[in-house]
Structure 1
C-alpha cells in the first residue's frame, strides 16, 4: 500500500521549525538587549550604591564610563564567538553568548554596595560589564547570521527584522519594568534595592533562553561547508574581505549612535538633563518604541520588494534630516519626548530592520559570523559605547549642539557608504 502526504501535512514540520527558529533566536536576543537597556535606565539609581555617593555627578559619570568600557570587550566577543560560530556552529555560539550574558546580569544583581566593600563594588560592576560585553559582542553576529541563513531568501529582509524587533521588545520590557517600579517604590527603596530586581529577572530569563537555544538545529548553510573549508585559516579570510568589514563599520556608525540616543538613553536623558518626571519619561518612550516595533516588518518587506539600498538610504538620510528638529522639539514635556522619539525611530527602523540581512549577504559562509562580528563590535564600541557618555558630558558643559552635529555627520557617512555596497536582495547564502 502506498501512502501519500498532503502538501499541508508536509509543510507542517517546516512551519514548526520556522517558529522554533524565530522564538529561540528572538527570546535570546531580547534578553541580551534587555540587559543592556536596564543598565542605562537604572544607572541613576545604582550609581550612588556601587560608587562613592559623596559626589553624585562623579558617580553617575563613572557609571556611564563603565557602560562604555563594556563595549571595549565587544570586539573580542565578536572575534571569539564569531570563531565559534564559523568553526563549531551558529547554534553553539548563540547558546554560549546568552548564557554568559545572564551570568553578567546576575553579578550586577547581587553586587555589594560601595559603602559595604569599597572599590570592590565598582570592580564587580566592571567585571560584569566586561562579561556582558563579550557576550553581546558575540550575540548579535551569531543570531543574525543564524537567522539570515535559516530564512527563505525571498523573505530574508522580513525575517531580519526579528533582530531589532526582539531586541527592542527587550528594551521595552526593561523600560516598562522601570516605569512600574518607579510608581510602586519610593526613591529611597529604588536606590536601596529596587534597582537589583531587573538584573535578577534578566539572569532568570537568560537561563530560559539558553535552554531554548540548546534545542535548536544548525543551519543548512553551515552544515554544507566541508571540513577543509571550515579549517581554512581565519586571518587570511578577514584580510581578503577587509572591504566588506569597512562597509559594515560605515553602515553601522550612524545607526548605532542614533539608536542609542533615541531608542535607549532618551528617557534617562530627559529625566536627568531636562528634569522631566522619570515615570512620565519612561511611559512616553514605551509608546514610541511600540511604533518602532510596528514599522520594522514594513521596512523589511519593502526591502524584499525594492532592494536593500533604497531602504538603507531612506533610513540614514531621514534620520539626519530630522535629528536637529526633533532635538529642538524635546524640552520638558512627555508629549514632546513621545513625538520626537517616534519620528526618529520610524527612520532609524528603516536601517535597523534590514542591516542583519545586509551584513550576512556581504560575506561567504566560512567567515560570515566573524566577518560581521569583529567590525560590527569595533564600530559599536567606538561609536555606540561612547554615545551616552559624550551626550552627558557635552550637556554638562552646555555644548549639546556639538554632540548632535557629531551624530548627523555619522549618519551622512553611513548614507555615503550605502552607495559602495552591492544590491544583495534575494542572494543565495549557501555559497
Structure 2
C-alpha cells in the first residue's frame, strides 16, 4: 500500500478558500476587538489625570488600572452569555454581536466627560464602558478561539488558532502605533487634554467596519453538523458544561500562568519601563511596539510546530521558562538603561510566552465537544482571566506602591509553576476530533493503517 494513503489529503480549492476567508474575517475582527480593549491600557498614562484628581501619579494609575481590572469581572458573564449563544445559535452570530458591543463601548470612552467637566461622573462612564467591553471580550475570546480552530484543517489547527494571538497582538500594535504617531505630532499637554480621545473614536469606527465583514462569514462545519441534531437541547448550557467539569478546571489551570505572564510583558511592560526603569514615555512605548511586532510574527511558526510535535512540549517549555526566568528578566528590565537592552530582555520574555499564546486557543477548543465547546472555552478562561490576568497590572502596581515591587516577580513565577504541573499531567490534544466527520475520518485512517500493517 502506498505511504501517501496515511498522509492527510489537501482539501478542495473551495474549502481552502473558505478557510482563508474564515481566517481573515475571524482575525481582523479579533484585531479590532483587542485594539479597543488594549488601547485603554496604552493611553492610561495620558488620561488618568482627566478622571482622577490628586498629585500622586502612581495612585492615579492605580485608579485607572482598577477600572481596567473591573472590566475583567464582566468577562465571565460575557463568556457565559455569548459562549452559550455561540453554542446554540452559531459562532458567526456571536462574533457579530461582540464587535457591535465593543463599538458602543469605545464610543462611550471617546465622549466621556472629564473630572473638571462633570466630577466623578466621567469616571463612572469610563467604568460602564469597561464593563461593556469586558462583556464583549469575554464572548469574543470564546467565539474567535472556537471559530478559528474549527475552521482550520485538522492538521493545521495549531497554525490556524495561532492567529488569535497574532490578531490580538496586532490590535495592541495598532494602538501603540497610533500612540507613537500622536507622541510625535502632538504635545504632552494636547495628548492629556483631548488627544487621548482619538484612538477610542477610531476604535468605534473600526468596529463598524468589522461588523459588516463578519456578517459575510460562513458558519463552521462542526457547528452546522451539531445544529442539525434537533434532539440536542442542552447545547451551550451550564448543565452540559458540568458534564465536562474536569476539562473546565483544566482550562483554568492551564490559563493561570499564561495570562499573568502575557499581561505582565504586554500591557504592564510600558508602565514598568517608565515607572521603574525611568525610561521616557516615548522610548518605553517604542520598546513595547518593536517587541510585540516580533512576538506577533512568532505565533504562526510556534503554532505550526505544535501541529508537528504536539501541544504539550510548547506549553511545558513556556512554563519552565516563565517559572525560572521571570525574576532575573524583570529585575534586569527594572535597571535597563537603553532602548536596546530593554528590547532584548522584552523579546526574551515574549519568546518564552509564545509557547503558551500560540496554541492555547486550540488546546482549549480541543478539550470539549462541539455542543459545549464555546462555553467550555469561554467561561473557565474568563474566570481565570478575571482573577489573575486582569489583576496582574493592579497587583504589580500595588506591590510597587507598598515598596515591595520584586514580590510581584515571584507571584508571576508561582502562577507559571501551577500551570507547569497542569501541562505535565494533561494529555496532548493535537489529535482530538472536533466533529463527527473528523472522528469518522480518523477511524477510517486508523483502519487503513492497520490493514497496511497486516499486509506488510
The equivalent residue for 1:292 is 295
The equivalent residue for 2:249 is 246
Which SS does the other structure have where 2:359 is aligned? helix
> 2:176 & 2:342 partners in 1: Cα distance?
14
Are 1:310 and 2:313 an aligned pair?
A: yes
The equivalent residue for 2:219 is 218
Which SS does the other structure have where 1:287 is aligned? helix
The equivalent residue for 1:65 is 66
Once the two structures are superposed, the pairs formed by residues 31-110 of structure 1 within 5 Å of their partners are 31-53=32-54, 56-110=57-111
> 1:389 & 1:187 partners in 2: Cα distance?
25
User: Is residue 360–residue 368 contact of structure 1 (8 Å, CA) maintained in 2?
Assistant: yes
Once the two structures are superposed, the pairs formed by residues 164-203 of structure 1 within 5 Å of their partners are 164-203=165-204
Structure 1: 5+ residue stretches without partners: 1-9
> 2:345 & 2:400 partners in 1: Cα distance?
18
The equivalent residue for 1:335 is 340
The equivalent residue for 1:301 is 304
- In structure 2, the CA distance between the partners of 1:212 and 1:230, relative to structure 1 (3 Å rule), is farther
User: Is residue 41–residue 265 contact of structure 1 (8 Å, CA) maintained in 2?
Assistant: no
The equivalent residue for 2:150 is 149
> 1:406 & 1:203 partners in 2: Cα distance?
36
Once the two structures are superposed, the pairs formed by residues 204-283 of structure 1 within 5 Å of their partners are 204-225=205-226, 226-231=229-234, 234-283=237-286
The equivalent residue for 2:125 is 124
Stretch of structure 1 that moved more, 394-403 or 134-143: 394-403
User: Is residue 304–residue 426 contact of structure 1 (8 Å, CA) maintained in 2?
Assistant: no
> 1:306 & 1:359 partners in 2: Cα distance?
17
**Aligned residues between the structures:** 422
> 1:266 & 1:399 partners in 2: Cα distance?
17
TM-score computed with the length of structure 1 as normaliser: 0.95
Which SS does the other structure have where 1:58 is aligned? helix
The equivalent residue for 1:352 is 357
1:191 CA drift (Å): 0.4
Which SS does the other structure have where 1:376 is aligned? helix
Stretch of structure 1 that moved more, 49-58 or 82-91: 49-58
- In structure 2, the CA distance between the partners of 1:268 and 1:18, relative to structure 1 (3 Å rule), is same
The equivalent residue for 1:369 is 374
> 1:86 & 1:239 partners in 2: Cα distance?
15
User: Is residue 84–residue 235 contact of structure 2 (8 Å, CA) maintained in 1?
Assistant: no
1:286 CA drift (Å): 1.5
* Structure 1 residues 195-227: Cα deviation after superposition (integer angstroms, max 9, x where no partner): 111111111111111111111011111111112
> 1:47 & 1:130 partners in 2: Cα distance?
18
Stretch of structure 1 that moved more, 281-290 or 375-384: 281-290
1:265 CA drift (Å): 1.9
> 2:323 & 2:184 partners in 1: Cα distance?
35
1:233 CA drift (Å): 7.5
> 1:232 & 1:355 partners in 2: Cα distance?
23
1:371 CA drift (Å): 0.9
1:54 CA drift (Å): 5.4
| Higher alpha-carbon Rg | 2
1:182 CA drift (Å): 1.2
User: Is residue 76–residue 380 contact of structure 2 (8 Å, CA) maintained in 1?
Assistant: yes
> What is the root-mean-square deviation of aligned Cα atoms in Å?
1.4
* Structure 1 residues 142-162: Cα deviation after superposition (integer angstroms, max 9, x where no partner): 101011111101111111110
1:47 CA drift (Å): 1.0
- In structure 2, the CA distance between the partners of 1:271 and 1:304, relative to structure 1 (3 Å rule), is same
> 2:240 & 2:20 partners in 1: Cα distance?
33
1:232 CA drift (Å): 5.1
User: Is residue 106–residue 201 contact of structure 2 (8 Å, CA) maintained in 1?
Assistant: yes
Which SS does the other structure have where 2:128 is aligned? helix
User: Is residue 27–residue 167 contact of structure 2 (8 Å, CA) maintained in 1?
Assistant: yes
The equivalent residue for 1:325 is 328
Structure 2: 5+ residue stretches without partners: 1-10, 437-456
Structure 1 segments (4+ residues) deviating >3 Å: 53-58, 230-233
